[in-house]
Structure 1
Amino acid sequence: MRIVFEDEPLDLEQPIWRYSKTDRFLDFVKTGHIYFAAARQFQDPFEGAVAVMPPGFPVDPRYAELEYGDWAFEELRRLTKINCWHRAQYESDAMWQLYAGAWKGVAILSTPSRIAAAAEQFRLQPQYGHEDLWAGNVRYVDLLKDRLRVSTLHRFLYKHAAFS
């Protein structure tokens, strides 16, 4: 497992929690695979964004159609797979309600080191090299005020402050 932010150490033994609905957990038990969602599957419409326009702000018609860079980013959002965990010493009532179907789900307790040890190498195709498993702490920024100037990998570890 590789760490995204080299300037911010990640405690590989810190407890992390994954809250999910029962059917997702049963699928994990049956297959042995943890589900990774595409970046564009999240409810957060700003997932991977580098800036956010204020609500009701008029859109400049020159930007109405996607250009190559925009299209490439949408493909990146489709291809980037994410699995989120909650870093805490104890269970979280808010996380139960948000992700486990109002206490009708399952919470998995683990550590980053245990996940790294259990993860098998993944290849999109047999002839390709293996995909790296990346980990990092999410950073929250006010995307209404700031524009991120980060790599395509890093932009998925930043979230709009409204989601903190």
Structure 2
Amino acid sequence: MYISNNQITIPDPDTIVWKYLDLSKFLDLLFCRQLFMSRSDKFEDQYEGTFSEPTFEEIKKISEHNRQFLDYYKSHRKNVVISSWHINEYESYAMWQIFTKNNEGLAIQSTIGRLQEALGPENRYDQHIGEVKYIDYKKEYIPFNDTFFPFLFKRKSFQYEREVRIISDLTEHHLNINEGVKANVDINQLIEKIYIHPKSENWYKNLVIQLMQQLGFDFKIEKSDLESDILI
């Protein structure tokens, strides 16, 4: 389902999204037919799933007479898992640089609508989709009337990510989550197109195609715009 709130942006179903990843993670996705979702407190950003200063001050006041209220938010992050996607009409040179190495890797192109359909009703985890809002954590307020809201706000320093997230709260499943979990997904619905790293060698491109075919997939592979010939 979509997360809705007047402070949360709900992407249009036709919004184009991307996931940049290395070959091993891509093959794991195809082989297992499951989408890996990272535990939220394992992200590089230490503020992940926390609150801005104005919100935290309000929470502290509430917790003066209810200590469990604050303890809940401190421990909640380890039960929330996230799959991050990048919103962009076009492929991003910056995302290639950040998420792939040695001129190798792939980008999955999809849409918000396809993500929603791919997750489907048969998944054992409830998934919610929302676009991240980037704010000043010293001045702006993060609502806490929904347990997902802290995971849909990030500091302005991360605006370049243009992130949309698939989020699951697994508290009720009582799982011992290490790095994350794998959620069932319809791979053919999830992936609309594949882009192979624009600076990769031909042998690498052929390897990716061959491995996909051996696993029974025939995704449309687009030529990267970054490979286009100059006109002069």
For normalisation by structure 1, the TM-score amounts to: 0.77
Q: Which runs of 5+ in 2 are unaligned?
A: 54-66, 160-232
Partner amino acid, structure 1, of 2:118: A
Q: How many residues are treated as equivalent by the alignment?
A: 143
Larger radius of gyration: 2
Does the 8 A contact of 1:96 with 1:102 survive in 2?
Answer: no
Check 1:149–1:115 CA distance in 2 against 1; reply closer, same or farther (3 A cut): closer
Partner amino acid, structure 1, of 2:158: F
Output one character per residue of 1:80-119: Cα deviation in whole Å (capped at 9) or x when no partner.
1111111111111111111223542110000111122222
Residue number in structure 2 paired with 1:58: none
Aligned-partner SS, 1:144? coil
Residue number in structure 1 paired with 2:79: 79
Q: What percentage of aligned pairs have identical amino acids?
A: 28
Greater relative contact order (CA < 8 Å, ≥ 6 in sequence): 1
Partners in 1 of 2:143 and 2:119 — Cα distance?
31
Output one character per residue of 1:24-77: Cα deviation in whole Å (capped at 9) or x when no partner.
11100110111110111110100011125xxxxxxxxxxxxxx64444224321
The equivalences for 1:1-164 within 5 A come to 2-7=1-6, 8-51=9-52, 68-101=68-101, 103-120=103-120, 121-123=122-124, 131-150=125-144, 151-164=146-159
Higher relative helix content = 2
Partners in 2 of 1:68 and 1:103 — Cα distance?
49
Check 1:74–1:122 CA distance in 2 against 1; reply closer, same or farther (3 A cut): farther
Partner amino acid, structure 2, of 1:94: A
Check 1:103–1:142 CA distance in 2 against 1; reply closer, same or farther (3 A cut): farther
Does the 8 A contact of 2:20 with 2:107 survive in 1?
Answer: yes
Residue number in structure 1 paired with 2:162: none
Does the 8 A contact of 1:51 with 1:143 survive in 2?
Answer: yes
Output one character per residue of 1:112-136: Cα deviation in whole Å (capped at 9) or x when no partner.
111222224333xxxxxxx322111
Check 1:51–1:102 CA distance in 2 against 1; reply closer, same or farther (3 A cut): farther
Alignment root-mean-square deviation, CA? 2.1
Cα deviation, residue 147, structure 1: 4.0
For normalisation by structure 2, the TM-score amounts to: 0.56
